[in-house]
Chains A and B, each alone.
Chain A
């Protein structure tokens, strides 16, 4: 694999360098590279210089092996498909070690605040980086799963904008929440 350098320009005009193999983790960048439209610098008007290094960090780790990153990212999602056997024909000891190492890396990588989470989700969506989108979306889902409405509002800075009457109704519903569902 050649390690041609690609330059990415953030929305606030800062330039970052990335290896071509790493950049290929992004479907969007891959298409630009394969389309031969490489004109020195690729402008990314939707990604700021705050978040671009974080995206590049992910691509560096996963460039060239989308398959296995997908496997991990889906690990938490597909757990309901209990019919699937845990057996995987490709899997062997070394693979397990590698996967464990990657999981640990992801854990550290994912340690950031909500604002970064939000920006990363948008960047991953815009750049079509499936593994990163899976990771961030799963993190967002975990911030709703099993939480009370107040906790969710706090996690995502959601303001309840119900009218006083509605608010009262909602409070009633919330009060009964542990016992009943919203429409009861």
Chain B
């Protein structure tokens, strides 16, 4: 009987080892270390928890500007007392600066079995990654923020690595290409604001998810036969003199299985070529969702957008973010006839269309008209005008409501407060 009452009293302490480990693995290292003062039984339980996660919440508020020093001290103490394998090591803090201690942690961890590693340096000075990180042979997830990467010549690739994320990382074209092509299990690659590469060639038959965001980079996708999702965001236009291979016909030529495509910022413009075809050489039957930002004052960009839509017969969702600026157009819109002639496809599976920041331009109306007339399954078209276009919004909507709808259940929903006020 006493056993029973004891177990009900101290239920947490009496849980099977695997459950307790699971519970502790879900906590941040600060929460885990805190359990050491609960009771004698708990005093040293934390030291074998395989996940070490340090974040801003690890730094006492009172530390103020000494946050970095404090954090370094805490990591040192935890590593000193920790016993057993470390599977996860993550450190991300707004206070962490590049310092030599980071290299000693990595050296210490390189004798371990780290599967997930994240280092985030938030201060402007980037940290040079020591060669020992590249000997973490069991890595599955790697995220580096605010670092400089140079691969050791002996680097053989991470044989288990599944996801790789770089943000504010400085590296060369060659380093990036080598990393991507020497990780045979890599499924996810995320590059945000990287510095260095102006032209990258990515090749990896296992890669499924790709995100490239930041300054314009000339991208060449090769042998990405498994890619299902690509997300591009360019924060600036390609320089007119910049030599580039990227364009609408070759960006997608190797990714025939793609299901989701996002092209934001200036990315669509970077795909413009002299003679934009009506449709791409291949049809993208698996593409379900597409999202892009479009300069409606640029004829060339409009043609690229039409080419994409014409080549994607099975789209279910389309999202278009409109902006307009003649100055930034490669060929300013004069006459829309060419665009009207190019539009030619049926969206048999299209359910939801979202067009935001509409300016009241003629092409927007043409596109809405075309989509409504050629999407028999359409359920919803969400429209939200930009504030500056508000003047002619009423006329715009009057016209829009007269368009023929191929789908009897198609709704047009205006989701903008500004407009409610205008009407």
Contacts and interface: CB of A to CB of B under 8 A. Distances in A.
Interface residues of B, number: 53
Given A179-B60, A181-B33, A140 B163 contact: no
Contact residues of A: prevailing secondary structure: loop
B162 to A, nearest CB: 10
Nearest to A174: B37
Given A157-B11, A180-B60, A83 B23 contact: no
Contact of A183 (B53, B81, B165): B81
A156 B11 contact: yes
20 contacts: A80-B53, A83-B141, A83-B143, A85-B211, A85-B229, A87-B260, A89-B229, A92-B316, A115-B8, A118-B12, A141-B23, A141-B24, A144-B23, A145-B27, A157-B9, A159-B9, A160-B39, A174-B37, A179-B61, A183-B81
Interface residues on A, range: 35 or more
Contact of A125 (B18, B31, B141): B18
B231 A182 contact: no
Given A77-B26, A179-B62, A161 B39 contact: yes
B77 A144 contact: no
A182 to B, nearest CB: 5
B90 interface: yes
A165 to B, nearest CB: 12
Contacts of A179: 60-62
A118 B11 contact: yes
B413 interface: no
A174 to B, nearest CB: 6
A95 interface: no
A129 to B, nearest CB: 13
A127 to B, nearest CB: 13
A80 B77 CA distance: 23
A45 to B, nearest CB: 15
A42 interface: no
Contact residues of B: prevailing secondary structure: mixed
Contacts of A140: 12, 23
Contacts of A156: 10-13
Interface in B15-29: 15-16, 18-19, 22-24, 26-28
Contacts of A122: 15-16, 19
B321 interface: no
Interface stretch (A29-37, A61-69, A146-154): A146-154
Interface in B55-69: 58, 60-62
Contacts of B209: 84-85, 87
Nearest to B63: A179
Interface in B198-225: 209, 211
Contact of B60 (A137, A138, A147, A178): A178
A81 interface: yes
